[in-house]
Structure 1
Amino acid sequence: MESFPPQIYDGMQHMSESVFVGLCKIVGMSQQVAIRRDTWDFMEMVDIRMKKGYGIPMYSGSIREGLRLVGSDLDCMYWPNNHRVIMNMSQTKNYNTSNTALILSDSSESPPGFTLLQLLTPFTYRQVQLSCVRVNGRVCISSSIWRHIMCNVGNLDSTVHGPCGSGIYRGSLEYDLAHCFVSDIWPLSALRILRCHSWPDAEVVNDIVRNGCHFVAIGHPLGPHENEEWRISFSRAEYKLVSSMNHCQFLTYGLLKIFLKEVINQQSDDTNKLLCSYHMKTTIFWAIQQNTLPHWCSQNLLDGFWVCFKLLLKWVYEGICPNFFIPQNNLFLTKVHGSAQNRLFLQLHELYKKGLACLLQCSSIRSYIVDVLYNPRLFICTDESIMRSEVENDRELIGESIMAVAAYLFPGNITKAIHMIEQFVHSPLTQNQVVALQKFAVIIFQQTSFLLQDMYTNTGVNKQVYIADKISCRMLKLAAKFGFVSDMLYIAMYYNKTLRYKEALSAVEMTKVKLAQPYIMYNGHVVRERYTEAVGGKSWFKKMREAVTTDIVLINKICYITELRSEQQSALQNRELAFVIPVFVMLHFLEFLCYRQIDTTLSQAALDELQVLLHHGRRLYIPRETRDISWEILGICQQITGNLPAALYSYQQSLITEYPVNKIRSATQIRIQDIVQSTDNQVLPLD
């Protein structure tokens, strides 16, 4: 405390509370963080039940931990479930080698935290076989070859970044995807966590050890076998540790990440790559365990930050940042040394000499410090029940539930998914997880309905078609009962596809009436007072069905609307598995298609409304990532009516002006080509 300037030292508790409130708004309140973690926990439970063999995923990174900072990424680790890493040969007896490939971890020749992986059994995947090399007479899996082979497995375009394939999904979500191997056994080199400490408690430690560790494909740059070595990953354990923090500790962790990005990494270009978020995480782990601050709370949040900052400064001075699980693994070894280390220390020491005034350089929280400096008697409320409204919690839960189940739009085995839903109904779930389960069930019912219709229509057997239709209709109505307002439109799509246009329009009208209500919540936009007045205090079942809507997701392997089939094929060729279409665009699109068969005047009115929406309502009703497909839909409608100049303009907007999130360019180009040829005009270069 001795280094704090007097003007900041006075009223430290008051300032800590102000920063606590600010961080709650930026990082999240405890209830928000609980919602985020619960829904992602549900996601992992689904994964375990749905995906056998290759492809068991584990999510980590800032988003998984509950942070939603600008630039927060999602880390995902995939491993083959029928491969296991063991630590010594005596452990082979615990596995059936006829269906499990065994890999031996041998760290005798590697730096702390790294190891060679020796393949012991012939049963394995082709990618593993292709990655094998000989090291001192042993068949080992080369991390560099494995990384190269696995970087672009799946449907994502990635670039190699460390042990991961990195990229941006749908133009916004940053991800790191690592294909790795798993061990059920906690490594001997990390047994220090078993020692008696006040943190983490025994239950957390037992859970960590029981769940083993992973091995990611990157070697130590100074190791004797850099291209063959693997790094021991404790991502699962780290998530358990972050989850065991109290909320003040978690906010301090968030503050360290903000401070790194907005202050430390802004000092100079030659030092801004030396420290990373993992160093901040390691810092707070050690600070909590060393018990320097016995009680972390809103009144001493800045004390906790200062403890961490001093520890980080000490490490930079010494050039040693000990890994929390294997302290002998110095995380600074390859970067923070020599002249770079000296420059970084001098920069951090200058910040240290300013005391907590250095936080004024953090643009995110500066105002919360300044407010207290200029108004020491300012009342600070740290009660979450007052700080955050029911509407905000509802919005958080809806958004997280949609994100959590988005990965399960393609479950593969529908029968297994339905059976799993049945099991979950009788399982102990949190309220947050129940909402995610409802959304998951809705997706499965909708998929099953359209798949059944496709399957039995092609048989030509009337009785089978009749039975499948009855089941499909029942499931879609059940999905609408448990889903959002927008899920009614799947019923309309089904009736349109099966040529029952009046029934489809009836479903559209019902949806239209609900969407017109002043309390509707759409993509986080809501009039709080109206929403609270209409559904405040009601059950989630009521809220979802009456007051919440979201955009429409169409899986590209399933035909929902014939007029969009070429766009779906184009997307599939570019490995895009689904469309997201704004709910109001889909509403008018379905109105147009159905009225075309009944009343052309009303059909034109629906088209006019769609056109107005695209030209004047984009900002609020059409998110950026859905605009290419929205213009495409408008063009399709205009082309159907014969208004080719307008259709050409809409297609060009989709192709040239909007970001190609949905990867429909080839379909758009073909449509433009058709229009140009039909009007005998010369094709213009559009790329």
Structure 2
Amino acid sequence: MSIYITLTYLFGTELILNLRRQLVLLRERLKSYGNDNLHYICSGSLGEGVAYPPSDDDLMVYRTGRRVVSKPQEGTQDGDVVMARINGSPGYCLLLDIRNCYPQNVQCDSDGIPFVSSSLWKEHINPPREDCYIHGPCHTFAVGDDEYDVASVIPCSFWPDIACDWISRKRSHGWPSHDTIQDIVRDKCHVVPIGDPDSPLQQHAWRISFSVAERTLMHSLNHVQFLTYNLLRLTLKRIIDKKFPGIICSYFMKTTLFYTIEKTSAQLWTAHNLEACFKVCLSTLYDFIDNINCPNYFIPEYNMIKRKVNRTNRQELLDTIRNIHSTDTESILSICGEPSNMYLEERLSLQIMEWRFDREIYDSVHVVKLTSVIYDVITETTVSSMCKFVHFLLGKGTFSRYVVSGILLQRLVVCCCLKLMDTFVRLAKCK
């Protein structure tokens, strides 16, 4: 139980985790509010509720009217493109521009079939800032010490055939639940502008992204599963990456966690078994590296480490993971530079405010205060609460100089979140 308490102090209590998840969804609505054409999705670690170790801020954005359809006859809207699979590249696709919607991004194959090039898409899309540079599928830029990755994506109007087996495959331990699976299929997926590096079509292909599905799965985890994932990430950042930089990434750790939870009993995932849960996940990762095959959780045919792990580095990686597996968790935390006895209530409280809400919420409050229609449907009390919430989030430096009870802090955040969410529900009804 002591390791559970230690990791809870380090990565957040269950209440704080739930608040983070609420804030993720709130932030998404705030960013999308007031712009009927642009829709934002908070993805990556921050979107999933992970706030430690620090990570980049990943956002996906798409425009209304753009969508990927499965068949040409379904392309009835001006922004529709048709998905075409690529032989030998599971998890990637081509987008056929059957309606000539994107002429500046189109290239034709040897048969004259026009497809939207992912590389041209990134070059011609309007970047979120002038100082952006292209990094993978994203435009990346920095604001102070924070780095943002923004990907311009296209939503799919269907669940892709190549991932249909994921819906119906046998799950002897009931995870994810039927309702979670239905929610994921309902939300579908997106395509992001980056191709398979092993394909001659790399510059033109798109990757099928299940970021929203992964966020739904992460939000469905119990607290022990969440702590286990954070411990896997910490081990990666502090130990594995130092020996093998760029070989294993957090996404592989998340995939490892998903497969492990799916194949183990729910009775394993309790506070008393946290160290055992971590070791079982390491065993799963060990098997992936041993076989040089880390199958994508939704598309198992897609081996995500085939270009990362090879016969040269495989054995050293296996030795490192075996050593971590044989080390007790408290010693791992010590190796990672994390103390085993921490009193971090103030730090945990500050984690809530470390989310990059500052500009989004501040701008949204001004939108609320300056729009007369909104003034007609909300009260001065709600506006006041929103302003207090903004000052609360912006007052990182001020807050750190005062000692505020954790209970009062939690009540303040919950109160403000609920008021803000209630406001947006009423605004949606007014529209």
- Fold-level similarity (TM above 0.5): yes
Q: Secondary structure at the match of 1:312?
A: helix
Alignment of 1:113 with 2:86, yes or no, is no
Q: Which residue of 1 aligns with 2:428?
A: none
Structure 1 residue 414 displacement after superposition? 6.4
Q: Is the 8 A contact 1:106 1:117 kept in 2?
A: yes
Q: 2:19 aligns with which of 35, 40, 52?
A: 35
Seen in structure 2, the aligned counterparts of structure 1 residues 254 and 417 have a Cα distance that, compared at 3 Å, is farther
Structure 1 residue 45 displacement after superposition? 2.4
Q: Which residue of 2 aligns with 1:315?
A: 288
CA distance in 1, matches of 2:13, 2:262: 23
CA distance in 2, matches of 1:237, 1:319: 25
Structure 1 residue 485 displacement after superposition? 9.5
Which stretch shows the higher mean deviation, 236-245 or 198-207?
Answer: 198-207
- After superposition, the C-alpha distances for 1:435-459 in whole angstroms (9 at most, x for unaligned) are 9x757854xxxxxxxxxxxxxxxxx
Seen in structure 2, the aligned counterparts of structure 1 residues 232 and 420 have a Cα distance that, compared at 3 Å, is farther
Q: 2:179 aligns with which of 203, 218, 222?
A: 203
Seen in structure 2, the aligned counterparts of structure 1 residues 301 and 156 have a Cα distance that, compared at 3 Å, is farther
Q: Is the 8 A contact 1:184 1:211 kept in 2?
A: no
Q: Secondary structure at the match of 2:357?
A: helix
Q: Which residue of 2 aligns with 1:681?
A: none
Q: Which residue of 2 aligns with 1:216?
A: 192
Query: Which residue type is aligned with residue 118 of structure 1?
Result: L
Structure 1 residue 193 displacement after superposition? 2.8
Matches within 5 A, 1:80-95: 80-92=63-75, 95=76
Q: Is the 8 A contact 1:287 1:311 kept in 2?
A: yes
Structure 1 residue 206 displacement after superposition? 0.9
Which stretch shows the higher mean deviation, 75-84 or 303-312?
Answer: 75-84
Q: Which residue of 2 aligns with 1:9?
A: none
Structure 1 residue 86 displacement after superposition? 0.7
- After superposition, the C-alpha distances for 1:329-385 in whole angstroms (9 at most, x for unaligned) are 0001211123133332233334445565862563344635xx9xxxxxxxxxxxxxx
Q: Secondary structure at the match of 2:176?
A: coil
More helix by share: 1
Structure 1 residue 248 displacement after superposition? 0.6
Seen in structure 2, the aligned counterparts of structure 1 residues 441 and 521 have a Cα distance that, compared at 3 Å, is closer
Q: 2:262 aligns with which of 284, 289, 300?
A: 289
Seen in structure 2, the aligned counterparts of structure 1 residues 301 and 133 have a Cα distance that, compared at 3 Å, is same
CA distance in 1, matches of 2:52, 2:129: 26
CA distance in 1, matches of 2:318, 2:82: 41
CA distance in 1, matches of 2:375, 2:312: 58
Q: Is the 8 A contact 1:110 1:225 kept in 2?
A: no
Q: Which residue of 1 aligns with 2:419?
A: none
Q: Secondary structure at the match of 2:288?
A: helix
CA distance in 2, matches of 1:91, 1:222: 31
Q: Which residue of 2 aligns with 1:51?
A: 35
Alignment of 1:186 with 2:159, yes or no, is yes
Q: Which residue of 2 aligns with 1:168?
A: 142
- Equivalent pairs counted in the alignment come to 409
CA distance in 1, matches of 2:293, 2:265: 19
Q: 2:217 aligns with which of 226, 232, 241?
A: 241
Q: Is the 8 A contact 2:194 2:206 kept in 1?
A: yes
Q: Is the 8 A contact 1:259 1:362 kept in 2?
A: no
Seen in structure 2, the aligned counterparts of structure 1 residues 413 and 199 have a Cα distance that, compared at 3 Å, is same
Q: Which residue of 2 aligns with 1:147?
A: 122
CA distance in 2, matches of 1:245, 1:77: 23
Alignment of 1:24 with 2:2, yes or no, is no
CA distance in 2, matches of 1:217, 1:485: 37
Q: Is the 8 A contact 2:334 2:340 kept in 1?
A: no
Seen in structure 2, the aligned counterparts of structure 1 residues 42 and 421 have a Cα distance that, compared at 3 Å, is farther
- After superposition, the C-alpha distances for 1:177-218 in whole angstroms (9 at most, x for unaligned) are 111111131111112331253111111111111111111111
CA distance in 2, matches of 1:250, 1:532: 25
Q: Which residue of 2 aligns with 1:257?
A: 233
Q: 1:331 aligns with which of 284, 304, 310?
A: 304
- After superposition, the C-alpha distances for 1:194-250 in whole angstroms (9 at most, x for unaligned) are 125311111111111111111111110112311111000110000000000001100
Matches within 5 A, 1:648-659: none
Question: Which consecutive residues of structure 2, in runs of 5 or more, have no partner in the other structure?
Answer: 417-431
CA distance in 2, matches of 1:167, 1:537: 32
Seen in structure 2, the aligned counterparts of structure 1 residues 163 and 396 have a Cα distance that, compared at 3 Å, is closer
Q: Secondary structure at the match of 2:196?
A: coil
Q: Which residue of 2 aligns with 1:71?
A: 54
Query: Which residue type is aligned with residue 82 of structure 2?
Result: L
Seen in structure 2, the aligned counterparts of structure 1 residues 86 and 354 have a Cα distance that, compared at 3 Å, is same
Seen in structure 2, the aligned counterparts of structure 1 residues 394 and 351 have a Cα distance that, compared at 3 Å, is closer
Q: Is the 8 A contact 2:330 2:340 kept in 1?
A: no
Q: Which residue of 2 aligns with 1:524?
A: 399
Q: Which residue of 1 aligns with 2:359?
A: 406
Q: Is the 8 A contact 1:405 1:439 kept in 2?
A: no
CA distance in 1, matches of 2:151, 2:303: 22
Query: Which residue type is aligned with residue 316 of structure 1?
Result: I
Question: Which consecutive residues of structure 1, in runs of 5 or more, have no partner in the other structure?
Answer: 1-16, 372-386, 427-434, 443-479, 488-519, 545-687
Seen in structure 2, the aligned counterparts of structure 1 residues 260 and 345 have a Cα distance that, compared at 3 Å, is same
CA distance in 2, matches of 1:255, 1:121: 48
Q: 1:101 aligns with which of 75, 79, 98?
A: 79
Query: Which residue type is aligned with residue 163 of structure 1?
Result: P
Matches within 5 A, 1:383-394: none
Q: 1:275 aligns with which of 242, 245, 248?
A: 248
Q: Is the 8 A contact 1:351 1:358 kept in 2?
A: no
CA distance in 1, matches of 2:361, 2:249: 32
Query: Which residue type is aligned with residue 346 of structure 1?
Result: D
Matches within 5 A, 1:444-455: none
Q: 1:134 aligns with which of 93, 108, 126?
A: 108
Structure 1 residue 396 displacement after superposition? 5.7
CA distance in 2, matches of 1:60, 1:486: 21
Seen in structure 2, the aligned counterparts of structure 1 residues 233 and 483 have a Cα distance that, compared at 3 Å, is closer
Seen in structure 2, the aligned counterparts of structure 1 residues 272 and 264 have a Cα distance that, compared at 3 Å, is same
Q: Which residue of 2 aligns with 1:349?
A: 322
Alignment of 1:158 with 2:132, yes or no, is yes
Question: What's the RMSD between the two structures over aligned residues?
Answer: 3.6
CA distance in 2, matches of 1:175, 1:232: 21
Structure 1 residue 46 displacement after superposition? 3.2
Seen in structure 2, the aligned counterparts of structure 1 residues 525 and 346 have a Cα distance that, compared at 3 Å, is closer
Q: Is the 8 A contact 2:118 2:194 kept in 1?
A: yes
Which stretch shows the higher mean deviation, 219-228 or 253-262?
Answer: 219-228
CA distance in 2, matches of 1:134, 1:301: 53
- After superposition, the C-alpha distances for 1:372-417 in whole angstroms (9 at most, x for unaligned) are xxxxxxxxxxxxxxx887x8887665x26x8436225446976996
Query: Which residue type is aligned with residue 111 of structure 1?
Result: S
Q: Is the 8 A contact 2:53 2:234 kept in 1?
A: no
Seen in structure 2, the aligned counterparts of structure 1 residues 22 and 263 have a Cα distance that, compared at 3 Å, is same
Query: Which residue type is aligned with residue 22 of structure 2?
Result: D
Q: Which residue of 1 aligns with 2:424?
A: none
Matches within 5 A, 1:494-643: 523-528=398-403, 531=404, 540=412
Q: Is the 8 A contact 1:359 1:366 kept in 2?
A: no
CA distance in 1, matches of 2:375, 2:157: 27
